[in-house]
Chain A
């Protein structure tokens, strides 16, 4: 198996640089998502050279490097850009596995029919990624070695590792590059193991006995034994709904109204008729090109009312770093299974029935329901048009 790894280091920061090219060469620091403790999530080489490293509190960064520029995360933009890259790579081969953001694996088997050499194939792959993102590629017999090779390749270039060279190529690499848990990495560090070669030289029985299956897997990778196959992404049925808020919203009430609207619209789509969902991803686009996103997996398939309840609770608890301009909701894992019986339509309040009938009749005639409900949005606002809004009534 020959695998190519397409790697874009500091993907989120590169995406920010695409929008603000003037920041190229400046020490950039990507902050973690807004929470009680905001730390460095990633930083450029210029920042590393000044002593900044991931997980460092921002206060320390300011003290260490006053000229550092903080970039706030925009996961919605990054996810969309990464999806476009994966789509482009899938036009090249059906065997494309997205890894962490900015990293993809492509199985090159069978592609010799299109390209005379592996080098031609990789050049073509790199051409599918915007050059401003400075992608690089690694080609090796396994995924891990290909990833290490990509990390060592120059921007825009690639590095190829032949099967016979894998062990010698991996030997000087830092042990931190192994895909291990933080805890195991620390334990290996305490034992004075610094390179992949040092770890690979240990007897496998001792590694297995001391560190269990995870340690053994790391030892195999360090020795170039990697039989993990490239797994193409699953095609999961999804429903996406978007809503642009009439005015930038800071209040939770507005967001909750928007959220409810999105969910009602999504469950009104024919794909979700008599069906439930297993997962939801909510994205809020915030002014100044920022975004917030949350993915929730439900313990059991849920219907409309439960989605409103769960996402509403989650939204009520967050602190957004700015005013929200738009929202999008993605419902994933559509299924006909239901764990609990939803309320049957016949058991709804009888008082509402004539109104629901009228609304349906009007919707049939005019395409969409012309009935609206007045809802409180920001009743305390000094700006009168922000206090109340009309919400389409579409039962």
Chain B
């Protein structure tokens, strides 16, 4: 009988893509007013806002996404994680 290798499953086999990236977001009245990614960029406009509430039966996911137009013409999608009270950048 060939011995079971007992090696742990390699996460390298299947990796999630587009994982959220922790980002520093400055807020005013609970809304994002600037994103700091090396340099501080002011949010010139909030183009869209939407919620994702899911998987309350397992590890709840509560995200409020903002699509922002930043100074310099940069577009960023960030979200506030309601469970962890942290901000993340993630393409949607």
Contact = CB atoms under 8 A, between A and B. Distances in A.
Interface in B1-59: 1-2, 4-5, 8-20, 52, 54, 58
Contacts of A346: none
Given A382-B52, A384-B91, A391 B14 contact: yes
Interface stretch (A36-44, A50-58, A241-249): A241-249
A242, A383, A386, A389: most-surrounded residue (chain B CB, <10 A): A383
A385 B58 CA distance: 17
Contacts of A386: 16
Contacts of A389: 14-17
Given A287-B58, A383-B52, A384-B90, A391 B13 contact: yes
Contact of A385 (B1, B4, B16): B16
B61 interface: yes
Contact of B17 (A239, A390, A392): A390
B14 A257 contact: yes
B60 to A, nearest CB: 12
A53 to B, nearest CB: 33
A76 to B, nearest CB: 14
Contact of B54 (A236, A247, A334, A382): A382
Interface in B38-87: 52, 54, 58, 61
B15 A385 contact: no
B16 A326 contact: no
Interface of B: 1-2, 4-5, 8-20, 52, 54, 58, 61, 90-92
Contacts of B90: 384-385
A245 B18 contact: no
Interface in A231-285: 235-240, 242-248, 257-258, 261, 265, 271
A17 B5 CA distance: 30
A146 B92 CA distance: 65
Contacts of A84: none
Given A390-B17, A392-B13, 6 more contacts: A235-B1, A243-B9, A261-B14, A374-B17, A383-B54, A392-B12
Contacts of A258: 14
Contact of B9 (A242, A323, A374): A242
A186 interface: no
